[in-house]
Structures are given as structure tokens and as C-alpha cells.
Amino acid sequence: MINEKIVLTGDRPTGSLHLGHYVGSLAQRLILQEKYKQYIMIADVQALTDNFEHPEKVRENVLQVALDYLSIGIDPNKSTIFIQSLIPEIAELTIFFLNLVTVNRLKRNPTVKEEIKQKEFGESLPAGFLIYPVSQAADITIVKGNIVPVGADQLPMIEQTNEIVRSFNRIYKPVFSEAEALIPMMSRLPGTDGKAKMSKSLGNAIFLSDSPDVVVQKVMSMYTDPEHIHVNDPGKIEGNVVFTYLDVFDPNKQQITQMKEHYSRGGLGDVVVKKRLIEVLNNFLNPIRERRALLAKNPQAVMKIILEGTQKTKEVAEKTMHEVRKVMKLNYYS
Ligand code: TRP
């Protein structure tokens, strides 16, 4: 029934996106948009599940995330960017899907379990948060998405989606196809403090929107090798975040190899390596900053692009719900 592969991906608009997002998913989307029909969802409804008391935060970041997408080269002619809350069909489908999932199954979802622990919800766990994987299943299926690029920590979400898809198809009629997770090409980027994950909440992120001065400051205070005290001491490369970033962003691989040798041997100071990283990151970020500055001058034009994408998505979502209502015997008008 379905032959054209469709990509669905998205981000919660709770902050502007950082280099970790770039490495983990944005870079891949630039490639995917050349090959597939790609939907990119700004997940404002999902962002509210743990920010419902801060609607202004979510609202402001919708534009920031849109700016991030467009400034890195997401092309609205190739990718359809849309706002989740403007597709009420997703909420409708979520309600139907909720019948196909048990509370116990949701509580066992490893991603949700981990997040519940992290956010310390305890006894006041909002129902909306617990069920967000079901909403995520609706995000994917509403556009009949069958490729979902996700980090490894989101794999249980795809499993959960596919369980729902199988139940739905078995109980009603085969409307949906199962989704396939696409693991990012590059491994996860550590934070500037050396922690395994770059994240806004950990305060160890370099944002795509950071100015050159901020990049200087963040790189200068980056985690290196705590035992590399004197320039002449031999230094460690492994776990040294400056070298990890150079490996990812520096196009001059030969020079990195030389620097690594010199650093391991001793005699190469952190500051020299950091200066190189500053140069590399600014070279990478400059064109993004330029496009961002241009787009930010006209936020209405940016919103127009996103709303056009939303309109296109809405038409697809309505079609899907038409099928869903039909197989669920809820098609009262026809
Ligand atoms: N959970 C993702 C995040 O936290 C955002 C998201 C919502 C998503 N729905 C999705 C990603 C569906 C992939 C597929 O950023």
C-alpha cells in the first residue's frame, strides 16, 4: 500500500538548538531532505508536557527552532516544517491510540522511565507526560511516516509506536505501516564540560545561535585533560573534549593528527588547540549566523514558511483521519 518512504522527525521547542543537535540529527536531516519526503515537526504540544507552566518559553522557542532549521539549510521546498499543536488530528489520533496501550506498558517504557526519574515527578507525574509516547506514535503515523531518525535513547519510542501500529492494523484495518528507526551517522557529542551529553539543561552546550565571543568563552573553559598542567607534560586525547570536537568539525584531518601526536608527546599547550577549535567552530557557524541574522530580521516571513508547511501537513493529516474514522466505524457523514 505504501511505497514512498516518508521521514518524520522533530524537536521540542524548549531552547534553541545546539551543536549536539547538529551532530545527532540536524546534519542527517540535510541529507534526508534530498532523498525522501521529510516532515520536521516543532513539537510544542510535547514541550508543554513538562513545561505547561511556561507557555511563553515554548512560544518563544518555536521561532528560535524554526530559525535554527532554516539557517542550517533545511529547505522548505524539500522539507515540510510544521507546528504540532496546529494539527489537532494528532491529538484526536492519540485518544484512539490510548485504548491500545496499557498504563503498565507506558510506565515500563525505558525512555519515559528515565525522564520521570530525572525530572523527579514522583507522585505528581502528569498523565500528559506519561502518555507522550502515544502522542509521539500519532505524530509519526498521522503523516504515515515510516523512517524516524532518532538517537539511540529514543529507540523504545519507535518500538512503542510499532506495537500501537500492529494493534491498530489488527483490530481495525491495515492503515499504517511500521516505522523504522534511523540511528544518527555521527555518535553523540559530549558537553563542553566533558559530560557524555550536550544539553541545555546541563549548561554545557554551544548553541547554533551563539556569537563568536560566546564561542571563545565556552571553548576556553572547555574540559581537556585535567592532568595536562604544564605545556611540556604529555596530554591525553581520549576524553579530551577539544579534540573530540576537532575530530567532528575540523576539515583538516592531517593537522589534527599532527596536533594529537604533539599533544600526547608533550609540548603543545591547551590554548593552542583551543584557538584552533575556536577558528574551526566559527568557520562552521559563520554562514549559519549570517543566514540567521537575515531571517531574524523578518520573523513574519519565517512564520509564514512554517505555517505553509503546517497547512500542507494538515491536508495529509485530514486524509489519514478520514481513513482512521472509516475503519473505526466513526465515519458518520459518509
Ligand atoms: N521527542 C522528541 C524530542 O524530545 C521530539 C519528538 C516529538 C519526535 N515527536 C516525535 C521525534 C516523533 C521523532 C518522532 O526532541
pTM beyond 0.85: yes
Query: What per-residue confidence (pLDDT) applies to 225?
Result: 93
Q: Is 29 in the pocket of ligand 1 (CB under 6 A)?
A: no
Q: Is 10 in the pocket of ligand 1 (CB under 6 A)?
A: yes
Residue 74 in this model has a pLDDT that exceeds 60: yes
Which residue blocks in 109-154 are alpha helix, DSSP H? Answer: 110-118, 127-130, 132-142
Residue 208 in this model has a pLDDT that exceeds 70: yes
Residue with cell 507557555: 55
CATH topology of domain 6-189+299-327: Rossmann fold (3.40.50)
Residue from 14, 17, 134, 136 to probe ligand 1 pocket by mutation (most atoms less than 8 Å from CB): 136
Residue nearest to atom 13 of ligand 1 (CA): 9
CA dihedral 210, 214, 218, 219 (to 10 degrees): 90
Name the pairing type of β-strands 180-182 and 147-149. parallel
The pLDDT tens digits of the residues spanning 132-189 come to 999 999 999 999 999 999 877 888 999 999 999 999 999 999 999 999 999 887 778 9
What are the extents of the domains in the chain? Answer: 6-189+299-327, 212-293
The pLDDT tens digits of the residues spanning 236-282 come to 999 999 999 999 999 999 999 999 999 999 999 999 999 999 999 99
Q: For residue 179, give the nearest of 212, 156, 208 by alpha carbon.
A: 156
pLDDT band of 196, cuts 50, 70, 90: confident
Instruction: Report the CATH architecture of 212-293.
Output: Orthogonal Bundle (1.10)
Residue 190 is classified by DSSP as P
